[in-house]
Chain A
């Protein structure tokens, strides 16, 4: 049975918004597993980590499995400590996003996050030997590679996850682009990223939307939408489908994907519902089809 997951919030949402968000997810969202934790900027973590135990408890009592995710970039002392502390935890439900976490984790069970570059069957086989139980593939992987990787992982008994909704993470840096846009640096950012709950839009000088800035992270302008590709993903052995939190109604988004997964509504209707929920944000599936990521490739007409 294919599971729906909710990835970690990439943005700097205020603590009260996070609490409300996860309360709704617990009560109403048709997702099976929820990833929690700060993955992008270690400076933000103190704002919301005190709420984590309550949020975890709430989600688990609602029947959701909770997985804690580690930082994508580990450089500073506090980042090394945060990653080490999580990786040391005596629970199987850790998603590791940096080799520093793998080092500390050793051979104890863990999940491989999308920042770990598990692109192929050789890397996945290596990771399984080191204790990985689950792997989230990079979002830029095309269908042909997903099929081979998922097949290999499936044979090894691994959970295999693919992002099917939300902005794609395109880059991370040591530099904070939110701070830079406001004439500041990372060290005196004053948490300006909190002003852009769905990322700060960048447009080309001929006024086309192109990218979103989220602190040290650069995201796609468009939301990935692999609704039309779900059947093939499942057939290829993908066991978990990941929805990335955006400012749209994520409970409704989860319902669209759940309904599509369970074949409760025709695809065209699911697509129409999702397009309505996402408003003016473009939807894309180019990476999956081996094309430019921003593109929207129509399904080939099949009988």
Chain B
């Protein structure tokens, strides 16, 4: 049986302590700048905060993984190198990277620190994963949320590194690291700036007929009836019209959350080493609830007991959940 490590989100020092206390095997976090893919106001760590957080985590046996998983635009590479230097100095246990230039630099400069390949690198085949393992010594790949469990099992047989998969939280459906939707509407880039559908560009507009429009940078991403709850205008979760769909429909995906709690035993059996919970932007109470529930579930499964995951549905987006691509090819 694989270790089935629980990898938990830490958007702030308080969330990090919460995740550690709730039983995370490792937490992942980033600095307050473009070097990570959750570069949102009010989130992330100063170097001093990270120093204290690493100490807190390590005293309790929890690892700290530093996300440097965006793509430096030419001329700004130094910011990523400095972030790596700071992370190395503070004793993080691994860097999560996507850019080949960043991976090459860290592999040469800090060969003693583990490299994990971010989902932002979109490595979805054994050949792609082996490219990063053989060239940069990557020890673990975070798989894109587009593979079925049989496909993951097959990949595991053909690669020399560990596998981490998302099990809960946002259900990203565009191939990460290949998405410029936000930049097209807002001028801020997911890859270069770490920004996705930023709150600073969001407006909710009440229409004369009582309906509510959710807008991003002035574009109406969705429209809701007077009794409907208005959702956040994430571009790939909006409703649009097509020539034969004049009524408006979820062209890409409904606003649902990924929840693989029922698939945990199968994922462990397929050779997944680590489970990732998404949500660095979430509250402490959310982190506490989700991490505790998954800690209990993983421990139950490893002890051969039946796991109880009923409470997690209440924490999913709009109370709607999906197993996405993991369970069936029909999702595609």
Give me the interface of A with B, judged by CB distance under 8 Å: 72-75, 79-80, 83-84, 98-104, 115, 117, 119-127, 130, 138-142, 144-149, 152, 168-177, 180-182, 185-187, 200-208, 210-211, 213, 218, 220, 286-287, 290-295
B130: which of A103, A126, A200, A208 is its contact (CB, 8 Å)?
Answer: A103
For the complex, what is the distance from the CA of A213 to the CA of B135, rounded to whole Å? 35
Give me the interface of B with A, judged by CB distance under 8 Å: 71-77, 98-102, 104-105, 121-128, 130-132, 134-135, 144, 146-147, 151, 173-175, 177-181, 183-187, 189, 191-192, 213, 217, 219-223, 236, 239-245, 248-249, 251-253, 325, 329-332
Known A-B contacts A149-B74, A175-B332; A140 and B105 likewise in contact (beta carbons under 8 Å): no
A210: which of B187, B223, B240, B245 is its contact (CB, 8 Å)?
Answer: B240
For the complex, what is the distance from the CA of A61 to the CA of B175, rounded to whole Å? 39
Tell me the smallest distance from the CB of A233 to a CB of chain B, in Å.
14
Which residues of chain A are within 8 angstroms of B248 by Cβ–Cβ distance?
205
Tell me the smallest distance from the CB of B244 to a CB of chain A, in Å.
7
Which residues of chain B are within 8 angstroms of A102 by Cβ–Cβ distance?
131
* CB atoms of A74 and B252 under 8 A apart: no
Q: 5 interchain pairs (CB within 8 A)? A: A126-B104, A145-B73, A172-B174, A201-B243, A203-B241
* CB atoms of A117 and B177 under 8 A apart: yes
Tell me the smallest distance from the CB of B11 to a CB of chain A, in Å.
25
Majority DSSP secondary structure for residues of B touching A: mixed
* CB atoms of B184 and A205 under 8 A apart: no
Tell me the smallest distance from the CB of B117 to a CB of chain A, in Å.
10
* CB atoms of A287 and B183 under 8 A apart: yes
Give the nearest-CB partner of A119 in chain B.
Answer: B71
For the complex, what is the distance from the CA of A42 to the CA of B58, rounded to whole Å? 47
* CB atoms of B189 and A79 under 8 A apart: no
For the complex, what is the distance from the CA of A290 to the CA of B188, rounded to whole Å? 8
Tell me the smallest distance from the CB of A25 to a CB of chain B, in Å.
27
Tell me the smallest distance from the CB of B50 to a CB of chain A, in Å.
23
* CB atoms of A122 and B186 under 8 A apart: no
Tell me the smallest distance from the CB of A252 to a CB of chain B, in Å.
26
* CB atoms of B71 and A117 under 8 A apart: yes
For the complex, what is the distance from the CA of A259 to the CA of B146, rounded to whole Å? 45
* CB atoms of A74 and B240 under 8 A apart: no
* CB atoms of B220 and A206 under 8 A apart: yes
Tell me the smallest distance from the CB of B323 to a CB of chain A, in Å.
14
Which residues of chain B are within 8 angstroms of A74 by Cβ–Cβ distance?
124-125, 127-128
Tell me the smallest distance from the CB of B182 to a CB of chain A, in Å.
9
For the complex, what is the distance from the CA of A122 to the CA of B109, rounded to whole Å? 14
